[in-house]
Chain A
Amino acid sequence: MKLTRRVALSALSVTALAVTAACGSGSSASGGGDISIGLAVSTLNNPYFVELKQGAEEAAKELGVKLVVVDAQNDATNQVNQVQTFTTQGVKSIIINPVDSKQAAPAAKAAENASIPLVSVDRSVEGGKVASEVTSNNVQGGSLAAVELGRATSGEVVHLQGIPGASAARDRGQGFEQGLNSGSIKVVASQAADFDRAKGLDVMNNLLQSNPGLKGVFADNDEMALGAIKALGARAGKDVQVVGFDGTPDGLKAIEDGTMAATIAQQPKVLGHKAVEEAVKAAKGEPVQRVIDVEVKVVNKQNLAEFKK
């Protein structure tokens, strides 16, 4: 009896702590105004989404609306709950950055039932109704990466994949394979490194053993690309070319240093900014644009200056 109470108390305090931790880094409100908008981010454990959130916060400030941010910590179920919670908190529109495109339909349903317009950002919502979809095209980005890698090098290349089954990994991988036809490169190994820099380093080291003669690397994100560069050591940028994805500050710095050939820059800040603009329009009942394509750009040494902030 005593024990159960203790466990219950502990569980409660853990929840409280987890909530506090999440709040400390996640939830924030910008600006005033009577319009409040919910933003459900997939994860803030990744600089890319942190930038997306920053873009959204800037837009909210400019437009004078209140923005409430929640972080699903990459848990699709958690995200559905968060969107449901939004519907009861009087937000006028909801922006969802789905953890997984294929698992976001229940969240869309919840918003629809509450007659609150939903805007998806960065990833689409499959099987659900959205007022507007603000994305950068991952498939297209993958194709661009293949072309860019084919331009930088020729011969055997390896593909470092993201978390097996995650939608970004699926889309980028699919685009990469589609783009391969255009170059003189051949994929000799595809292995997962879970979007993680340390795993990128380990997996690259392992692949170097079985493929000592490889000439190029495509990684589904910059973090893994930076791990691969670490594994390649002096070979990176010399006889092995690395192409990443995302255009994070560390990635751009690697291009500047000459260790990374290129990255596919999405513009997370622009994504966040546009999403808030559309969400505010939707909240006011103004017409919104059904699909907004935020440009995906190849960043290499030539055009680096445009992206460095």
Chain B
Amino acid sequence: MAELLVAEGVTKRFTGALALDDVNFAVRTGEVHVLLGENGAGKSTLVKVLAGVHAPDAGRIVVDGQPVRITSPQHSRDLGIAVIHQELTLVPELSVAENLFIGRLPRRFGLVDKARVRRDAVALLDRVGLRVDPATPVRELGIAGQQMVEIARALDLDARLLVLDEPTAVLTDTETDRLLEIMDGLRREGVGLIFITHHLEEIRRIADRITVLRDGRSVAMLPGGASVQHMIEQMVGRSIDEQYPRQDQQPGDVLLKVDGLTRDGVFADVSFEVRAGEVVGIAGLVGAGRTEVVRAAFGVDRYNSGTVEVAGRRLPGGDVHAAMRAGLGLVPEDRKGQGLVLSSGVGENLGLVTLRSATTAGFVDRKRQDQRAAEMASALRVKTTGLSQPVRELSGGNQQKVVIGKWLLADPKVLVLDEPTRGVDVGAKVEIYELINRMTASGRAVLLVSSDLPEVIGMSDRIVVMAHGRVAGELPAAGATQDQVMALAVQDRITEETPA
């Protein structure tokens, strides 16, 4: 196996801060090489250097034994490097085939050669194992299919080095399995792959080698079979005693009671309770209606029937502000799209929920708002240059801390966390778990929606499992296994709709 790409002593500095500091790294042909590190460790910067977006300040890059200076994204592609970013670059309204050959559709007599487009598209899609009609509009594909189209396009451009930046963050388990199979196939064909993921189990399944980045430095090169514990230690630079540090509390009064909540065609007859001091997990497959239920309970979306009570008070439907006043908070699934004002500062974002309570006669007490934001930022250990730093510039984990922090300032009785650790690195995850513990220790409650089964089992006291918009079952977290939860989650629609 030949060295495909070697990076030696690569250093990149952004206005004072070292983003990459003497990074060494190599990928061979026919290898899956994992880049592992916390958010902000320098993975994205390294990828951008390889993609020709950033030029390194020092160090050299060798491709096929030749030192190169990658000057532009086009140059990078010419060298055979293809990067699949988290944000896909497809045109949703165009067909799969058109997307595959965008800008270079084969032509005959000046017209697009439809027959050839179709033939070539089928062959390409076959290579990535995607069985769809090439005429299908891309928007109908779903996120996993779209990724495959991106990968197929990269392969057609003769990519020999494929960089996959957190492709599995948005995929379900089965979709992830398929992706890993395809990666394995490409590896056999001699393609070199750089794979970035936060899911340590995936690394154990696919990686040949692992390079760990920490604070911009390449701190370790591990073999593919390294233990999870070992990977975490290298990543955070200290050993983490427990991945899920849940502290049990004695359950108190019912703080949140959802009863028979129904929204036609989306979810039906959903009931559960959350007591003071409790963490209740909501598990289920993507599309089971979990997010929809918590959004409706919080008053974001309307529902047709059923009731939501917070601390014994019934909430009016479709009124976020009433839900807030009653003591409910929601950290939404899509933190960038729904939780944060990216262009505004850390302080401004932390003060979002308390803006109204800090207002007297129309005027906001900004001094107090800033003071409380500063206290919260330091209590949550948000890594930032200051309260005025735009949250756009923070890492995913720190952004999530800001979203949670804005709710903690409002001191809700029940906080709903929808996928709170998605795209968050291990160190920050544990800090978020500790925040959950602190909330329940002070008599508050948490409703935890998560697709990460070990997390739901590890952090909840009870687990409500949803399937097809209904509650498929409830079980205590202690002693629950992933298999038990999955068995409920994949429950057949028919058995479930049979009257008991």
In the complex, are there CB atoms of A and B closer than 8 Å? no
